[in-house]
Amino acid sequence: MITVRGLRKRFGDLEVLKGVDCEIRKGEVISLIGPSGTGKSVFLRCLNLLERPTSGEILIGGQPLLDPATDVPALRRRMGMVFQHFNLYAHLSVLGNITLGPVHLLGREPAVAAARARELLALVGLAHKADAYPDQLSGGPKQRVAIARCLAMDPEIILFDEPTSALDPTMVSEVLAVIRNLARDGMTMVIVTHEMAFAEAISTRVFYMDGGEIHEEGPPAVIFGAPRRPLTQAFIRRIRRLTFQITDDAYDLYALNGEIERFGARHVLPPKTIEDLLSLVEELLALQPSRADVRLELAYAERDGRVEVVCSARGAPLDVLAPGSAEDDLAVRLVRGRTEEVRYAREGERNVSTLLVRAAR
Amino acid sequence: MLLTALLWVAGARAAEPEKLRGLEDLTRARIALVAGSSHDEHVARRYPQAQVLQFKATPDVVLAVSTGKADVAFLALESVREIFRTTPNLAILVPEAYRSPMGGAFRSDDTTLRPAYNAFVRGLRESGVFEAMRERWFKDGARDLPPLPPRGSGPVLRMGITASKGLPWTGVRNGTFTGFEVELAERFAASLGRPLELVDLDVSGQIAALASGRIEAIACLLVMTEERRKRVAFSDDLLAFVACVVTREDRIAGAAPAAATAPQAGLPLGERIRANLVDEGRYRLILEGLFVTCVISVLATLFGTVFGGVVCAGRMSPRPLLRQMAAVYIWCLRGVPVLVVLMIIYYVVFASFHVSPILVAAVAFGLNAAAYIAEMLRSAIQSVDRGQLEAGVAGGFTRAQAFRLIVLPQALRQVLPVYKGEVISLFKMTSVVGYIAVQDITKAGDIIRSRTFDAFIPLLVTAAIYLVLAWLIAWALERIELRVTPPHLRQGMGVAS
């Protein structure tokens, strides 16, 4: 239902989109992933002409969007959009937000529109908030209202522009759950997101954008599991794994903890698991006889729900986690108590400990 | 603050002021006079070292002397009798300071009206009517117009008068102009077969109005000073103007020291209220003034709001030229005092069209308010985050629809509290319309003062009326504010109290 050919967008001297081609069919759920600043949001905003492309062609249900004769507002009515910052109408109640479009654009009776709005609010779990005002809601509910507002227009497709990026981590899952339900019901959607696990789980196809173009596309299993092109591979590795290099005793524990927390948030790990990882890594580093060259790697395997922690340290052969090996036996017990499995290997001049932590679901 | 108060008290208790004996004591005195009057020139020439206090109208001059703000005042001898009736603590220091011819005044290039006027006055003198008029107004102290010849039906003759000059020259009684000058003007207009329209202007505004064509002649008799002769053509001598010097009774050498008293302090309050508000139907002046003030305020607010919206649209337009024009407009109107704008529009822009001065005032105040309202609207519109407009557009609204349904309601709610302040300030600013011969409440108070020479009651009543109306405006706008505020934000919103 959407065909894009040779789409280019330039802001002054900066060419953000350098020729995007794609085809989006009815019922598809497309995730747009990729590093920041590669034009994912701009591409999405070109699809409903919030940004005017410099050149190229966009067909919505066969109608050329860029043709001056096209009734753009009419086309937009068929395409909903959910924004990163919700953009609810501040002067209207939740119900007013949802009914404004149907009443003014679709000519619905206010009572009919209100009844439908209440159904949609029930669908996103906010039936009790119909009379609240946007500034009385926190981020998660706001975004769910925004989704209900889109649905009220009976759109054929919904564009999501980083719908969870502005949310408190505790509220991400409630919004994702609503989007997941829409996917199950067969809604056509294009989602720009940094929630990789979510993208992998609900997408029918994933577009990896880099350098102003769709660098690689394919089913989620391929893009996340076995990407073909080097840039995609590097990106997937980067988001899958957290690597941290330590070169002396005065390493920045807070920076490391920050990265672990972000890693956890990215993979939607429960707070309990993140806490375990934090203390586990700290103990593990404390147990090392030398911190002159230690490399830490964290990876999350979605399939079995486990986090793999690899600690590779240069030095004389030593398994710091072997029972009774260290003076601080309590620390060893603490680490082992939080892991499901511990392996030790000697690789060249390095001692490699591999720990598997099951995510507390 | 405290220091100022102490100084003030100390000043009030200052040594008994010197007694005055005659003209020789004026050299360094504080002399009160009406700005633009003939006294002005005379005093500047004769007493260059004196401290001159210029006032807009006779009542202010009288008040200044009777309250001790000025040592002496220069007044027309003929006015003094009327003044002494109401301000008994004054006395004449010098009955004739100087004498000078007076007459009506015409445009310098006038060729028809002035000869007609001179012929008319000659006729009046020959028939003895002129002498009878003088007797009646200046000696018998008449206060109402006698039966006059019927008004003509030709084109309207506009002549300038100064109601604040006071009787016997010109005053207001029962809501109509009366006095020697008024009778003379009426008779003159009747002799031409034209209906008369009197335009009430301050002395200092008469010549400007004549030059701009707003009036055809000045009916209030002017002293023929050198300065004025350069600007206007005078009629033949009509009367001799006798200037006298007035001071407070107790300042005259030889008089017993009397306590400084406010004018009319002797009268009981009830009497004063009656004299200022009831006698001669003066409450009608106030009511009419109130009506005029309201009309100007309402029209100016409507015009200012609509035009402010237009200017705001220009200011936010994507076209640089429109943006520039709106910016320059706002810059000008915010930088020039509204009174000056008012006079420019009255004396310059509309100089040769006869537009109702009420309309002129509404336009002037509206133009001024528009500049402020435009900026208020702009900042209110900009305060609504762009994302909401974008959400509306993405949802299928056109930009105009999204603006009207999403941005505007929020911007208007934002703007209401400041808008309220602007409307009230506009309402209060209308008090300067007296400058262009509009009788609003303030002017009505002035006119009453010119008859009663009592500052207290008219000013107090005027102030009270403004206060109540300003409160009403605030109250009404706050009701609207409350209605457009979402219920959960209403708590703590003050209602004008």
Q: Examine the domain organization and report whether B290 and B437 are in the same domain.
A: yes
Paired tokens of B411: 């911007």
Please report, as a single letter, which amino acid is at residue B67: T
**d(Cα B36, Cα B47) in Å, to the nearest integer?**
16
Phi-psi region at B17: left, alpha or beta (left = phi > 0; alpha = psi -120 to 50): beta
Give the pLDDT confidence score for residue A80 in this predicted structure.
Answer: 92
Q: B362 to each of B285, B341, B358, how far by Cα in Å?
A: 20, 12, 6
Which of B384, B386, B397, B416 would best serve as a mutation to test chain A binding (most A beta carbons within 10 A)? B397
According to DSSP, residue A148 is labeled H
pLDDT at residue B483 is higher than 90: no
Tell me whether B409 touches chain A (CB under 8 Å): yes
- Confirm whether B52 is domain-assigned: no
- Confirm whether B328 is domain-assigned: yes
Q: Examine the domain organization and report whether B308 and B451 are in the same domain.
A: yes
Give the pLDDT confidence score for residue B281 in this predicted structure.
Answer: 74
Q: What is the CA radius of gyration of chain B?
A: 27
Give the pLDDT confidence score for residue B185 in this predicted structure.
Answer: 92
Name which of A239-243, A353-357, B4-8, B77-81 the model is least confident about: B4-8
- Confirm whether B39 is domain-assigned: no
Paired tokens of B42: 């005379």
Which of A83, A87, A92, A159 would best serve as a mutation to test chain B binding (most B beta carbons within 10 A)? A87
The CB-based long-range contact list for A177-182 (8 Å cut-off, 24+ gap) reads A178/A124, A178/A125, A178/A144, A178/A147, A179/A147, A181/A123, A182/A147, A182/A151, A182/A158
Give the pLDDT confidence score for residue B259 in this predicted structure.
Answer: 46
Tell me whether B380 touches chain A (CB under 8 Å): no
Name which of A50-54, B16-20, B303-307 the model is least confident about: B16-20
- Whether the Cβ atoms of residue B64 and residue B96 lie closer than 8 Å to each other: no
Name which of A118-127, A184-193, A214-223, B242-251 the model is least confident about: B242-251
The residue whose two tokens read 């003759």 is B157
* Listed residues B180, B209, B240: the one ending a domain: B240
**d(Cα B248, Cα B63) in Å, to the nearest integer?**
10
- Confirm whether B493 is domain-assigned: no
According to DSSP, residue A340 is labeled S
User: Which tens digit of pLDDT belongs to each residue from B343-381?
Assistant: 888 888 887 777 788 999 999 999 999 999 999 999 999
Please report, as a single letter, which amino acid is at residue A276: D
Q: Examine the domain organization and report whether B220 and B327 are in the same domain.
A: no
Give the pLDDT confidence score for residue A288 in this predicted structure.
Answer: 86
pLDDT at residue B323 is higher than 50: yes
B372 CB-contact burial (10 Å; exposed 0-12 / middle 13-18 / buried 19+):
buried
Q: Examine the domain organization and report whether B205 and B303 are in the same domain.
A: no
Which of B488, B490, B491 would best serve as a mutation to test chain A binding (most A beta carbons within 10 A)? B488
Q: Examine the domain organization and report whether B460 and B315 are in the same domain.
A: yes
Q: How many CB pairs under 8 A join A and B?
A: 69
Residues from chain B that touch A76, judged by Cβ atoms under 8 A, are: 393-396
Give the pLDDT confidence score for residue A17 in this predicted structure.
Answer: 92
Paired tokens of B448: 């009453």
φ, ψ of residue A3 in degrees (nearest 5)? -125, 130
According to DSSP, residue A324 is labeled T
| Alpha-carbon dihedral B286, B292, B294, B295, rounded to 10 degrees | 160
Give the pLDDT confidence score for residue B108 in this predicted structure.
Answer: 86
Distance from the Cα of B416 to chain A's closest Cα (Å) equals 14
Give the pLDDT confidence score for residue B95 in this predicted structure.
Answer: 85
User: Do B486 and A91 count as a contact with CB atoms less than 8 A apart?
Assistant: yes
Please report, as a single letter, which amino acid is at residue A127: A
**d(Cα B444, Cα B458) in Å, to the nearest integer?**
9
Distance from the Cα of A70 to chain B's closest Cα (Å) equals 13
Pair type for strands A79-82 and A157-161: parallel
Share of chain A above pLDDT 70, in %: 98
Exposure b/e, A155-169, CB count within 10 A at least 16 = b: bbbbbbbbbbeebeb
SS3 A126: coil
Name which of B126-140, B164-178, B362-376, B399-413 the model is least confident about: B164-178
- Confirm whether B186 is domain-assigned: yes
**d(Cα A137, Cα B97) in Å, to the nearest integer?**
82
Give the pLDDT confidence score for residue A21 in this predicted structure.
Answer: 92
The count of domains in chain B is: 2
pLDDT band (50, 70, 90) for residue B321: very high
Tell me whether B384 touches chain A (CB under 8 Å): yes
Give the pLDDT confidence score for residue B11 in this predicted structure.
Answer: 46
- Confirm whether B320 is domain-assigned: yes
Q: In 10 A of CB A10, how many CB atoms?
A: 14
User: Of A77, A88, A133, which has the smallest distance from its Cβ to B396's Cβ?
Assistant: A77
- Confirm whether B26 is domain-assigned: no
Q: Examine the domain organization and report whether B232 and B289 are in the same domain.
A: no
Distance from the Cα of B411 to chain A's closest Cα (Å) equals 10
* Listed residues B217, B240, B263: the one ending a domain: B240
Share of chain B above pLDDT 90, in %: 33
B68 CB-contact burial (10 Å; exposed 0-12 / middle 13-18 / buried 19+):
middle
Q: What is the mean pLDDT of chain B?
A: 85
The residue whose two tokens read 């006298």 is B244
User: Which tens digit of pLDDT belongs to each residue from A336-356?
Assistant: 888 888 888 888 889 999 999
Give the mean pLDDT of B17-46. 82
Q: In 10 A of CB B63, how many CB atoms?
A: 22
Pair type for strands A29-33 and A205-210: parallel
**d(Cα B329, Cα B345) in Å, to the nearest integer?**
15
Minimum Cα–Cα distance from A91: chain B residue: B410
User: Do A101 and B406 count as a contact with CB atoms less than 8 A apart?
Assistant: no
Q: What is the mean pLDDT of chain A?
A: 89
Please report, as a single letter, which amino acid is at residue A267: H
Distance from the Cα of B387 to chain A's closest Cα (Å) equals 5
Q: Examine the domain organization and report whether B170 and B313 are in the same domain.
A: no
Higher pLDDT, B215 or B36: B215
Give the mean pLDDT of B290-314. 95
CATH number at residue B184: 3.40.190.10
* Listed residues B186, B213, B240: the one ending a domain: B240
The residue whose two tokens read 């669908």 is A123
CATH number at residue B401: 1.10.3720.10
User: Which tens digit of pLDDT belongs to each residue from A142-188?
Assistant: 999 999 999 999 999 999 999 988 888 788 888 999 999 999 999 99
pLDDT band (50, 70, 90) for residue B4: low
Name which of A191-195, A329-333, B112-116, B250-254 the model is least confident about: B250-254
Q: Which domain holds residue B218?
A: 101-240
pLDDT band (50, 70, 90) for residue A76: very high
Q: Examine the domain organization and report whether B361 and B229 are in the same domain.
A: no
pLDDT band (50, 70, 90) for residue B255: low
Exposure b/e, B255-289, CB count within 10 A at least 16 = b: eeeeeeeebbeeeeeeebbebbbeebebbebbebb
Q: B146 to each of B129, B161, B187, B279, how far by Cα in Å?
A: 12, 19, 11, 20
Exposure on the CB side of residue B249, measured as CA atoms within 13 A: 13
pLDDT band (50, 70, 90) for residue A200: confident
Give the mean pLDDT of B90-108. 87
Residues 6+ apart with CB under 8 A from A176: A164, A195, A198, A268
Give the pLDDT confidence score for residue B14 in this predicted structure.
Answer: 44
Please report, as a single letter, which amino acid is at residue A156: E
Tell me whether B318 touches chain A (CB under 8 Å): no
- Whether the Cβ atoms of residue B367 and residue B333 lie closer than 8 Å to each other: yes
A197 CB-contact burial (10 Å; exposed 0-12 / middle 13-18 / buried 19+):
middle
SS3 A131: coil
**d(Cα A322, Cα A329) in Å, to the nearest integer?**
10
Higher pLDDT, B257 or A32: A32
pLDDT at residue B297 is higher than 90: yes
Q: Examine the domain organization and report whether B289 and B408 are in the same domain.
A: yes
Q: Examine the domain organization and report whether B343 and B220 are in the same domain.
A: no
- Confirm whether B80 is domain-assigned: no
Q: Examine the domain organization and report whether B346 and B425 are in the same domain.
A: yes
Minimum Cα–Cα distance from B406: chain A residue: A89
Q: Please list the residues that pair with A258 across neighbouring strands.
A: none
Q: Which of A167-171, A316-320, B245-249, B466-470 has the highest mean pLDDT?
A: B466-470
Higher pLDDT, B277 or B9: B277
Q: Examine the domain organization and report whether B440 and B333 are in the same domain.
A: yes
A255 CB-contact burial (10 Å; exposed 0-12 / middle 13-18 / buried 19+):
exposed
**d(Cα B399, Cα B318) in Å, to the nearest integer?**
14
User: Do B488 and A150 count as a contact with CB atoms less than 8 A apart?
Assistant: no
DSSP A31-76: EEE-STTSSHHHHHHHHTTSS--SEEEEEETTEETT-TTS-HHHHH
Q: Please list the residues that pair with B159 across neighbouring strands.
A: B198, B217
User: Which tens digit of pLDDT belongs to each residue from B196-218?
Assistant: 999 888 877 788 888 888 888 99
pLDDT band (50, 70, 90) for residue B5: low
- Give the closest residue to B439 by CA, choosing from B172, B87, B135, B222: B172
